Amino acid sequence: MVLASGDVVLRPIKLRDQRSWREVNRRNRDWLRPWEATIPPPVPGAPTAQRPTYRQMVRHLRAEANAGRMLPFVIEYRGRLVGQLTVAGITWGSMCSGHVGYWVDRDVAGRGVMPTAVALAVDHCFRGIGLHRMEVCIRPENGPSRRVVEKLGFREEGLRPRYLHIDGAWRDHLVFALTAEEIPDGLLRRWQRARPGTPR
């Protein structure tokens, strides 16, 4: 499925995206490193885990998507791959929730690309597949990522100490959340109404 608003498109990640994905990731290596997940050291006697190749990553994401546990997208802006957004940890039953993770090319940061992409994904999760709650967990020091959820009106719910292994250590994360009842008209419409210069 493809989700779009203006110049921003979300579409499923593909094996043939490898060259573009690697190029964007390489150019942004220093900018992304402080916020990227890392593999913790193994317990004594356990094998050392290796970072997956691009092909292994895409195959894993596809398998999780086919099992209904994940929605892996790339982000395009004006026809060019500029980042990645994944809805992961999708839980059904009495919870119906998921969480959003993302990164974007520094060259397009500040143009509204990521808030638009997150809004598209959240609206699809609420209206398209029937989830009820969406979370975004962000390191307190990550100002650009925090601005994304603040622009979109996510609620800050508190701190999760040592929540994820990031940049070589267990890092605290702030939790931001929305439920479907909080945005009856959709998150994209709310973002478009709040965004400066957007026609009302």
Q: What is the pLDDT of residues 74-91, one digit of tens each?
A: 999 999 999 999 999 999
User: What would the DSSP string read from start to end of 101-151?
Assistant: EEEE-GGGTTTTHHHHHHHHHHHIIIIIS---EEEEEE-TT-HHHHHHHHH
Q: Note whether 173 and 163 are within 8 A (CB).
A: yes
Q: What is the pLDDT of residues 96-151, one digit of tens each?
A: 999 999 999 999 999 999 999 999 999 999 999 999 999 999 999 999 999 999 99
- Residue 95 pLDDT greater than 60, yes or no: yes
* pLDDT tier at 200, thresholds 50, 70, 90: very low
Paired sense of beta strands 8-12 and 3-5, if any: antiparallel
- pLDDT value for 186: 97
Global pTM value: 0.94
- pLDDT value for 197: 65
Q: What is the pLDDT of residues 56-78, one digit of tens each?
A: 999 999 999 999 999 999 999 99
Smallest CA-to-CA distance from 7 within 100, 101, 108 is with 108
User: What would the DSSP string read from start to end of 40-67?
Assistant: PPPPTTSPPP-PPPHHHHHHHHHHHHHT
- pLDDT value for 48: 72
What distance in Å separates the CA atoms of residue 5 and residue 190, rounded to the nearest whole number?
13
* Mean per-residue pLDDT, 11-28: 96
Q: What is the pLDDT of residues 184-198, one digit of tens each?
A: 999 999 999 988 665
